[in-house]
Structure 1
Amino acid sequence: MRMGLAIDAACDLSQEFLQKHDIAVMPITVRIDREVFMDDRRPEEIQRFINRRLGNRSHSAETEPCPVEEVQKLFLEKLVLEQDCVFCLTITATRSPINEHVNKASFAILKNYRQARDQAGVPGPFMMRVVDTRNIFAGAAPAIYEATRLIAADEPPAAIRERLTHVANHSYGYMLPRDLYYLRARAKKKNDRSVGLVSAMLGSALDIKPILRCFQGETGPVGKVRGFEQGAEALFGYVTKRVRAGLIVPMVCASYGGDLAVLEHLPGYLELRQACEECGVELMEAPMSITGMVNVGEGAVTVGFAAEDHVAEF
Structure 2
Amino acid sequence: MRVGLIVDSACDLPYDFARKHDLFVLPVTAIIDGQTYTDKHDPVRTQEFYLSGLLDKAHEAETRAFTVEQIHDLLMEQVVTEFDVAICETVTKNRSQIFQNATEAMNSVMAHYEGARKAAGRDGKFSMRVIDSKQIFAGQGLLAAHTLRLIGQNVSKNALRQEVESFTDKIYTCVIPRDLHYIRERARRRGDKNVSALAAFLGKALNITPVIFGRGVEGKPVVKTRHFDMAVEKVMNYAAARVDAGLLTPYVSLSCGLSWTDIEDLPGLNRLRDACERHGVELLLSQMGITSAIYVGPGSICLALAAEPHAFNDFQ
With the shorter chain as reference, the TM-score category is over 0.9
Shift in Å, 1:144: 0.6
RMSD of aligned Cα (Å): 1.5
CA 1:239–1:116 in structure 2 vs 1: closer, same or farther (change >3 Å)?
same
1:52 aligned partner: 52
Assess if the C-alpha contact under 8 Å between 1:142 and 1:167 holds in 2.
no
Shift in Å, 1:123: 1.1
TM-score with structure 1 setting the length: 0.94
Confirm or deny that 1:293 pairs with 2:293: yes
- Deviating 4+ runs (over 3 angstroms): none
Confirm or deny that 1:166 pairs with 2:169: no
**Alignment deviations for residues 145-171 of structure 1 (CA, whole Å, 9 cap, x no partner):** 111111112111111111112221101
Assess if the C-alpha contact under 8 Å between 2:80 and 2:117 holds in 1.
yes
Q: Distance in 2 between matches of 1:181 and 1:120?
A: 50
Shift in Å, 1:79: 0.8
Q: Which runs of 5+ in 1 are unaligned?
A: none
Q: Distance in 1 between matches of 2:271 and 2:90?
A: 31
Q: Distance in 2 between matches of 1:29 and 1:78?
A: 19
Q: Distance in 2 between matches of 1:85 and 1:100?
A: 20
Confirm or deny that 1:69 pairs with 2:72: no
Assess if the C-alpha contact under 8 Å between 1:11 and 1:91 holds in 2.
yes
Q: State how 1:83-94 maps to structure 2 within 5 Å.
A: 83-94=83-94
1:200 aligned partner: 203
**Alignment deviations for residues 15-38 of structure 1 (CA, whole Å, 9 cap, x no partner):** 101110111111111111133322
**Alignment deviations for residues 144-202 of structure 1 (CA, whole Å, 9 cap, x no partner):** 11111111121111111111122211011211111111121112222223334353241
TM-score with structure 2 setting the length: 0.93
Assess if the C-alpha contact under 8 Å between 2:202 and 2:208 holds in 1.
no
Q: Distance in 1 between matches of 2:84 and 2:174?
A: 35
Q: Distance in 2 between matches of 1:77 and 1:269?
A: 41
Q: State how 1:1-314 maps to structure 2 within 5 Å.
A: 1-54=1-54, 55-58=56-59, 60-193=60-193, 194=195, 195-197=198-200, 199-202=202-205, 205=206, 207-313=207-313
**Alignment deviations for residues 122-143 of structure 1 (CA, whole Å, 9 cap, x no partner):** 2100011112221100011221
Q: SS where residue 117 of structure 1 aligns?
A: helix
> Aligned AA for 1:145?
A
Q: Distance in 1 between matches of 2:134 and 2:260?
A: 25
Q: Distance in 1 between matches of 2:258 and 2:284?
A: 15
Q: Distance in 2 between matches of 1:216 and 1:292?
A: 15
Shift in Å, 1:217: 4.1
> Is 131-140 or 33-42 further displaced after alignment?
33-42
> Aligned AA for 1:4?
G
CA 1:197–1:148 in structure 2 vs 1: closer, same or farther (change >3 Å)?
closer
Q: Distance in 1 between matches of 2:245 and 2:94?
A: 29
Assess if the C-alpha contact under 8 Å between 1:134 and 1:168 holds in 2.
yes
Q: SS where residue 56 of structure 1 aligns?
A: coil
Q: SS where residue 164 of structure 2 aligns?
A: helix
Shift in Å, 1:213: 2.8
Q: How many residues align?
A: 310
> Aligned AA for 2:260?
L
CA 1:264–1:48 in structure 2 vs 1: closer, same or farther (change >3 Å)?
closer
Shift in Å, 1:71: 1.2
CA 1:179–1:235 in structure 2 vs 1: closer, same or farther (change >3 Å)?
same
Identity of aligned residues (%): 36
> Aligned AA for 1:197?
A
**Alignment deviations for residues 62-112 of structure 1 (CA, whole Å, 9 cap, x no partner):** 311122111111111121111100111111111111111111111101001
> Is 114-123 or 214-223 further displaced after alignment?
214-223
